[in-house]
Copies of this chain bind each other. A is one copy, B any other.
Amino acid sequence: MTPKNETIADIARLAGVSKSTVSRALNDSPLLSLETRERIRALARQRNFQIHVPAQRLSRKESSTIAFVTHGYHMDFSVADLFTLEILSSISRTLSEMRYDLLMVHVTPDDCEWAAKYIDTGRADGFILMTSTHKTDHIKALLNMNAPFIVWGVPQPGYSYCSVTGDNFTGGQLGTRHLIGQGRRRIVFLGGPADELEVQGRFEGYRAALQEAGMLFEQRRVGYGNFSDTSGASIMRYLLARNPDLDAVFVNSDLMAIAAMDVLREAGRRIPEDVSVVGYDNLSIAEVSNPPLTTVSQNLAIAGRQLARNLLQYLQDGVVTNVTIPVELIVRKSA
């Protein structure tokens, strides 16, 4: 029914040259005379020739595809994955510009074999790791089997691998400074998991900002959640109970911040009149929340591009990059 696809051999016959020459023409080989190259390319274009990629991959021994790996199937995607979704957008764009395909892969925490199923089978050349749970285990497994990858997040000290991360210290500092600048003095820190390096960085920034303003740090002003909206709500309640006098809260994610604002409102606090809140990430929901959220932007467009580019670079010449993306405060209504 559909006319069988043409191959490089067909084009060669039509052009009166060898397959090698066609291949070279299509691949911009410097060996060819400009004239033959153009002649062949024109012919290919005219016949709407599309090269057969699996054959190319077999021959070149590379898959020209990158796997984007996120958490497993036990949880479905939800708002909680908005961060992943937004960064995916820019990774995908960059990869496509560089003529790479993007595969979606979901790993379950207990699976340690997944990497081989992609690398050794030649289905992917490398991984972009977005998974948060058991991240360290996955990283060790990948290092162990010598699989190329890059991860979003602060690199584990003592290991060498590619990473890109936000500037968590500055982020914490920027958010807290802004709150202080608004005249707030009883600023609470609503963090992600206490054991994550990202969270620790933001906390240090928070502390530094207090200190440079000559303000006292108090342990009772800090609480840790797990980035989810439910934890945002419950930790906010906890913090509110321990700090009835609070006048601002610096939250480690937009999702938690939005949940926290609901809690505050239920407790009769007006935002930002009674308490200012600043979030983290500048996801698309931050714009449409009520009130619109002041937040620390991680610039996911740049982050995604770096993740893609640097992984490809590593694939090419083995240079391991660790980059940290600058953050920026986006001021809206909530603080």
- Which chain A residues have a beta carbon within 8 Å of chain B's beta carbons? 1-2, 5, 48, 50-55, 57-58, 63, 65, 68, 73, 76-82, 85-86, 88-90, 92-93, 96, 101-106, 116-117, 120-123, 145-146, 229-230, 258-259, 262, 283-285, 288, 290, 301
Contacts and interface: CB of A to CB of B under 8 A. Distances in A.
Contact of A146 (B1, B90, B145, B262): B1
B85 A81 contact: yes
Contacts of A146: 1-2
A106 B93 contact: yes
Nearest to A304: B76
A122 B229 contact: no
A259 B292 CA distance: 12
A123 B58 contact: no
Contacts of A90: 76
Contacts of A58: 52, 54-55, 58
A103 B101 contact: yes
8 contacts: A2-B145, A2-B146, A5-B120, A76-B86, A76-B90, A76-B301, A101-B103, A102-B103
A77 to B, nearest CB: 4
A319 to B, nearest CB: 16
Nearest to A5: B120
A329 B284 CA distance: 27
Given A82-B82, A116-B48, A53 B89 contact: no
Contacts of A101: 103, 123
Contact of A121 (B51, B82, B96): B51
A121 to B, nearest CB: 4
A167 B252 CA distance: 40
Given A79-B79, A123-B53, A146-B2, A73 B102 contact: no
A78 B86 contact: yes
Contacts of A65: 103
Contacts of A63: 54
A170 B258 CA distance: 33
A283 B259 CA distance: 17
Nearest to A65: B103
Contacts of A5: 120
A77 B86 contact: yes
A63 B101 CA distance: 13
